[in-house]
């Protein structure tokens, strides 16, 4: 035991922690300026090794800061089935990251004791990185951490975040989920996509064309690598491919969603399908401009609606009685919820904001579709659902329509990365669905029309005075706030509003939607005033938008 810790001590000296620096492991792991991360990377290598020993499985460590600016970096841990690391270990991550240099061994021993880690158990850690300039150096620090505790590591080099999640899942299912190589990932997804595309009647080359904004990041590199596998079933024009532009600068899913305009460096012709990945390719949004030149964004709600509608129709054709649900947050547009519940008769479940809440809720159904409005999401199939679909697809006595639907479902399962939101996988699925249904992007957009909405922030002295319930849709404290919101909402048609504390700063986030943009703006402002007055606003009173 002691000799192992000697190596940790020695290596830790090479990756020292600046005194007094404090970080919190959040939804996205650790994220900050790359210059401050060296000690954290080394320590996450240590932690992943311990996690591997306790789970007797391979653990993943991804070096990325997703949609943050180029000068930042970050790190996320991946649990055995390709999911986010468990909450208890998020706490350990924070403790280990913040232990001062001389307290590191004590903090490490504390985790080993609490988890009764068998230190002689073999450990295996998969490491991946994005294209940032700092990623090579930082991923090396992770590898140093793994070897300092005698763990084995596999360095996947440049991969998208979802690809690393996929590798970890493949490895721990002994290859049942797929082959744990980048090549294996391309093969599985492309073959499923090609089989799906064969069900599209006479698709022209024009209809097979898609413009992709790679955010000058890892997604662009990987789309390039995969293209040859797609056998011309999809014609991709790649923009912001990283050859000259800066990562996430005026491009990428986040930029497009927030700015409501196409990325820099992309020429878009009216009616043409376009999509943007974020920096580590785990989010995707679609968009187009119409004949008037107006920009239209299709966000995560529109994606979830397209996918769940397609799946629901296939289940009906296949005669399969499986429960399908769409999981949303309070930010999902009211029109999408209304369409899903009332027109499509799909179960809609609302959860707190944050991918882990959505993922967890989606696991409660035979098929769970979840997407955040920002374009991060996927589809989960229960073991039982996969088996039923498999049996049906292999049943030789079936009539044509049922058989076709079962095979389509089977290929749909194979094109989806169920471990985590994956821009490449989601792109292939959306493209296949549009081709099979013979739908243009404009027709997809027209399934329902978003209610106008407005999001505002109110600065408060302590955002913890706001406490919510009902998946953040209602405020329980401070006293009188929810009643005030209810009264204001009644003034407008088709209106809805909620407030929630920010997870990262002392601000309260306000969301409002209504029949017209003016109404949504007015309601958002009035609710902001109520928050300011009842929840200890700081600075000047919120000003009206008009």
Same domain, 127 and 17: yes
Q: Is 396 a catalytic residue?
A: no
Annotated binding site for substrate: 372-374, 500-504, 509
Convert 66-104 to b/e letters by CB count within 10 Å (16 or more is b).
bbbebebbbbbbbbbebbbbeeebbebbbbbbbbeeeeb
Q: Which stretches does DSSP call E strand in 345-504?
A: 347-351, 367-371, 377-381, 453-459, 467-469, 474-477, 496-501
Q: Which two tokens stand for residue 189?
A: 């997804």
Q: Which residues neighbour 389 within 8 Å (Cβ) at sequence distance 6 or greater?
A: 318, 320, 381, 406, 409, 410, 413
Percent of residues, the chain, with pLDDT higher than 70: 99
Answer yes or no: is 355 within a domain.
yes
Name which of 136, 143, 175 is nearest 167 in CA terms: 175
Q: What's the predicted TM-score (pTM) here?
A: 0.93
Answer yes or no: is 285 within a domain.
yes
* Contact status, residue 424 vs residue 160, Cβ threshold 8 Å: yes
Q: What is the DSSP letter of 174?
A: T
CA dist 305 and 336 (Å) reads 7
pLDDT of residue 202: 72
Answer yes or no: is 423 within a domain.
no
Q: Which residues neighbour 138 within 8 Å (Cβ) at sequence distance 6 or greater?
A: 34, 37, 38, 41, 63, 73, 75, 129
pLDDT of residue 2: 56
Per-residue pLDDT of the chain (546 residues; tens, 9 = 90+): 556 789 999 999 999 999 888 998 887 889 999 999 999 999 999 999 999 999 999 999 999 998 888 899 999 999 999 999 999 999 999 999 999 999 999 999 999 999 999 999 999 999 999 999 999 999 999 999 999 999 999 999 999 999 999 999 999 999 999 999 999 999 999 999 999 999 887 777 778 899 999 999 999 999 999 999 998 899 999 999 999 999 989 999 999 988 889 999 898 999 999 999 998 999 999 999 999 999 999 999 999 999 999 999 999 999 999 999 999 999 999 999 999 999 999 999 999 988 889 999 999 999 999 999 899 999 999 999 999 999 999 987 877 889 999 999 999 999 999 999 999 999 999 999 999 999 999 999 999 999 999 999 999 998 889 999 999 999 999 999 999 999 999 999 999 999 999 876 788 999 999 999 999 999 999 999 999 999 999 998 998 888
Answer yes or no: is 103 within a domain.
yes
Answer yes or no: is 424 within a domain.
no
Same domain, 201 and 90: no
* Domain endpoint, select from 113, 143, 158: 158
Annotated binding site for Mg(2+): 66, 278, 280, 282
Q: Which residue has the tokens 């405020």?
A: 475
User: Of residues 12, 66, 197, 519, which has the active-site annotation?
Assistant: 66
* Contact status, residue 81 vs residue 419, Cβ threshold 8 Å: yes
Annotated binding site: 66, 278, 280, 282, 372-374, 500-504, 509
Query: What total of structural domains would you count in the chain?
Result: 4
Same domain, 311 and 226: no
CA dist 209 and 442 (Å) reads 15
Answer yes or no: is 177 within a domain.
no
CA distances for 17 relative to 25, 70, 101, 211, angstroms? 16, 22, 6, 44
Strand duo 467-469 + 235-239: pairing: unpaired
Give the total residue count for the chain.
546
Same domain, 289 and 305: no
Answer yes or no: is 441 within a domain.
no
Cis peptide before 478 (omega within 30 of 0): yes
Same domain, 284 and 264: yes
Q: Which two tokens stand for residue 516?
A: 């017209």
Same domain, 229 and 121: no
Domain span at 528: 453-535
Long-range contacts of residues 85-88, Cβ cutoff 8 Å, at least 24 apart: 85/51, 85/59
CATH number for position 365: 3.40.120
Average pLDDT of the chain is 94
Same domain, 10 and 153: yes
* Domain endpoint, select from 416, 437, 461: 416
Residue 516's beta-bridge partner residues? none
Answer yes or no: is 85 within a domain.
yes
pLDDT tens digit sequence for 225-281:
999 999 889 999 999 999 999 998 999 999 998 888 999 989 899 999 999 999 899
CATH number for position 99: 3.40.120.10
Same domain, 113 and 204: no
Same domain, 398 and 290: no
Same domain, 278 and 380: no
Same domain, 371 and 334: yes
Same domain, 464 and 483: yes
CATH number for position 465: 3.30.310.50
CA dist 122 and 118 (Å) reads 9
* Domain endpoint, select from 416, 442, 473: 416
């Amino acid at each position: 035991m002691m000799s192992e810790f000697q190596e940790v001590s020695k290596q830790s000296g090479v990756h020292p922690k600046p005194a007094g620096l404090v970080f919190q492991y959040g939804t996205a792991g650790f994220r900050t300026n790359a210059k401050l991360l060296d000690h954290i990377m080394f320590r996450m290598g240590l932690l992943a090794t311990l996690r591997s020993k306790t789970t007797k499985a391979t653990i993943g460590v991804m070096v990325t800061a997703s949609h943050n600016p180029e000068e930042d970096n970050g790190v996320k841990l991946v649990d055995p089935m390709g999911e986010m690391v468990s909450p208890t270990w998020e706490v350990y991550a924070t403790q280990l990251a913040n232990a001062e240099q001389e307290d590191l061994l004590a903090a490490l021993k504390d985790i080993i004791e609490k988890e009764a880690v068998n230190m002689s158990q073999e450990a295996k850690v998969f490491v991946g990185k994005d294209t940032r300039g700092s990623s090579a150096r930082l991923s090396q620090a992770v590898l140093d951490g793994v070897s300092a505790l005698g763990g084995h590591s596999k360095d996947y080099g440049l991969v998208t975040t979802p690809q690393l999640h996929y590798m970890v899942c493949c490895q721990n299912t002994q290859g049942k989920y797929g082959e744990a190589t980048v090549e294996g990932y391309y093969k599985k997804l492309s073959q499923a996509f090609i089989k799906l595309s064969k069900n599209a009647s006479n698709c022209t080359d024009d209809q097979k064309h898609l413009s992709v904004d790679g955010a000058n990041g890892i997604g662009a590199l990987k789309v390039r690598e995969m293209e040859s596998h797609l056998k011309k079933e999809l014609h991709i024009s790649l923009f912001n491919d990283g050859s000259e532009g800066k990562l996430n600068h005026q491009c990428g899913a986040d930029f497009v969603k927030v700015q409501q305009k196409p990325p820099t460096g992309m020429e878009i012709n009216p009616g043409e399908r376009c999509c943007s990945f974020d920096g580590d390719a785990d989010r995707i949004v679609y968009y187009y401009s119409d004949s008037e030149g107006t920009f239209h964004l299709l966000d995560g709600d529109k994606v979830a609606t397209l996918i769940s509608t397609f799946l629901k129709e296939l289940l009906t054709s296949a005669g399969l009685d499986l429960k399908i649900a769409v999981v949303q947050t309070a930010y999902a547009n009211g029109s999408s919820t209304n369409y899903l519940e009332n027109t499509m008769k799909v179960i809609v479940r609302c959860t707190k904001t944050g991918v882990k809440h959505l993922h967890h809720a989606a696991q409660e159904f035979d098929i769970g579709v979840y997407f955040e409005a920002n374009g991060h999401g996927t589809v989960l199939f229960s073991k039982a659902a996969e088996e039923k679909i498999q049996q049906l697809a292999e049943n030789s006595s079936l009539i044509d329509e049922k058989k076709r639907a079962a095979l389509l479902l089977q290929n749909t399962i194979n094109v989806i990365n169920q471990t985590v939101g994956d821009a490449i996988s989601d792109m292939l699925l959306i493209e296949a669905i549009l081709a099979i249904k013979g739908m243009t992007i404009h027709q997809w957009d027209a399934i329902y029309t978003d209610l106008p909405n407005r999001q505002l922030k109110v600065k408060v002295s302590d955002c913890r005075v706001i406490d919510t319930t009902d998946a953040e849709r209602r405020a329980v404290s401070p006293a009188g706030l929810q009643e005030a919101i209810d009264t204001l909402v009644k003034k407008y048609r088709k209106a809805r509003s909620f407030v929630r504390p920010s997870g990262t700063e002392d601000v309260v986030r306000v969301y409002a939607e209504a029949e017209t943009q003016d109404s949504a703006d007015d309601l958002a402002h009035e609710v902001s005033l109520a928050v300011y007055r009842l929840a200890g606003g700081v600075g000047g009173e919120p000003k009206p938008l008009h």
